[in-house]
Amino acid sequence: MSLNAYILAVSKSESDLEPKRIQQLELLSRYIFNKISRGETAALNFICTHNSRRSHLGQIWLQMAAAYYEIDLVKAYSGGTEETAFNPRSVAALQRAGFAVEVGIGANPKCKVSSDLGSLYLVSFSKKYDHLENPKKDFCAVMTCSEADGACPVIFGADLRVKLLYKDPKSADGTDHERTAYDERCFQIATEMFYVMKQVLTELRKIK
């Protein structure tokens, strides 16, 4: 599937979002809109335990949605409470969605994620949430797993913390359902990040 076709499918699935989930997503969209409307960069750091699956997917899909809707002043990051590696199963799910991913070498390889659609380019690798490449202040901390949320009662420098928990596809590793689990999580996160940025776009159009 091409990335454009994938995004069209994502857009059609937004109507299936549950009201409780929308409440959390709109915290993100309001945060981003408020920052942009003041001419500031909206920085969001997606955090999970190992920075290997859900946090990367959140970062990449939010940045892709911003690029797709041509919304500037949005910068997505990711990190974990531990450093491991960008899981190859998550990488494969992104490739099936239509991204180009060039995987580097080593135990924690740098993965170059790109798309001609919206001119996206990110270098993704596992790191702690307070890594030197991540923001130290004036950012939104997006907690994508309950373990990281519990392990980090305080994220220093964050001016907003949003709990946006996702089921870990790791539970399906090594089973016949592995590919399905990763594709489902990838699609869910894509749907929600596109919903967030579509709301931002709607609000920006009102003030132009």
What are the 10-residue block averages of pLDDT along the chain, 208 residues in total? 92 92 96 97 96 97 97 97 96 97 97 92 96 97 85 85 94 96 98 98 91
**DSSP-derived 3-state class of residue 200:** helix
Whether residue 120 lies inside any domain: the answer is yes
Whether residue 69 lies inside any domain: the answer is yes
The predicted pLDDT at position 203 comes to 96
Whether residue 3 lies inside any domain: the answer is no
CATH number of the CATH domain containing 114: 3.40.50.2300
**DSSP-derived 3-state class of residue 121:** strand
Domain containing residue 140 = 37-206
Whether residue 129 lies inside any domain: the answer is yes
Distances from the Cα of 102 to the Cα of 42, 94, 126, 167, angstroms: 27, 11, 15, 26
In the chain, the number of structural domains is 1
Q: What angle do CA 28, 38, 115 make, to 5 degrees?
A: 55
Residue with tokens 């202040």: 137
Whether residue 188 lies inside any domain: the answer is yes
Closest CA to 80 of 172, 145, 166: 145
Whether residue 73 lies inside any domain: the answer is yes
Beta partners for residue 166, in sequence order: none
Q: How many CA atoms lie within 13 A of 124 on its CB side?
A: 38
The predicted pLDDT at position 116 comes to 86
Q: Residue 114, by phi and psi: left (phi above 0), alpha (psi -120 to 50) or beta?
A: beta
Cα pseudo-dihedral 58, 63, 67, 68, rounded to 10: 0
The predicted pLDDT at position 21 comes to 94
What is 48-87 written as a DSSP string? ESSSSSHHHHHHHHHHHHHHHTT--SEEEEEEESS-----
The predicted pLDDT at position 66 comes to 97
